[in-house]
Chain A
């Protein structure tokens, strides 16, 4: 039987169901991993240097990471950040905000074979560098961009 024949209204529902099952599968191990290997020390570190020391790796600059952040934040409380890695075997993506009380904002585990692109929103307390870090094959890579947090109100 030709598999493509099932694509119709019913096929779509089945497809969605399959997708949901896949999503559940994908999320479950991440949650599990997070509880098992959440690096508490890194999340509690108060400087970029101390965070990296907790992670136990020193990053090298890479142009194979695309970090998308606004140049000037529209709202410092919810700044959209996208990190996309084209480094082979990307296994984790980290987001750091240089001058936040605790710079490490998020760690994403990237299951093997997944497109290494994550999007989140972070709080940015004041103008500073945002870091997109990528772990691949046990090495750490990074790129940075400055996001400005301004009082605003004087343009035009």
Chain B
């Protein structure tokens, strides 16, 4: 079976955007809940709670342009409904559906209809009222829809090259999002140094775990004690937890090799080489080393490498000139 480059690109981005929407929903949801445990926060308290979230999604400047100050209302709106923010949940879902629409003949009816349902859900007239009456329920719906889509594609999509591109998009995005969720904690300033290891610090690390659905899994392995290095160790290195960076990189490399038909430990393009190298580097790195060199710096480096993999993937399989036919199309006639 042949796979058009454009189709590969659409499958990859559909999958990435859905995964991104899910992760943004996770981050916002957990931080809204974390606020419930905080004392009453003044403006600067609100800012130090929410700004790290904005930073971790990468668009501080845009936020500053669109809103007066960071608080629960502005940050959740920015990350959930703002169409000007390409990383908002709404923007991600619109983009995912636009990509899915172009490949609806390549995905199963079930997958298409769920993407379409999710689209109509977030585009409903009363969606902000639905959100206001229960943000938790709203974000749960987004996450569940993403999970449903994964289940549906596992259960109904043919395991051909196109399916591998769906996997590549998902795991590349998920690895990237896990680095960002971990990095949130770096930005959160504790009120004073003596709070390190205190109740608030622990609560924040627990929030990080919850953002990754890793709370139960962590406790299963490390017991009740939530320690920063254990959390980092788990979310970066776990071989078995499906949202850890290591796990995602392994899936990514395997899918890339299934696409090219390349043997294990070999590579046939830059995307494969970089993904494999990243995986090997991580395998020979310890948690101690990461903390010694700085968690934040290490996470940024990982994000850069993942972005390179994405670019090389585009070069290897999808590159073709981009045109915008929207204007012309209105003239061209079918009847």
Instruction: Tell whether A pairs with B.
Output: no
Interface residues of chain A, those whose CB is within 8 Å of chain B, are: none
Instruction: Please give the residue numbers on chain B whose beta carbons come within 8 Å of chain A beta carbons, in ascending order.
Output: none
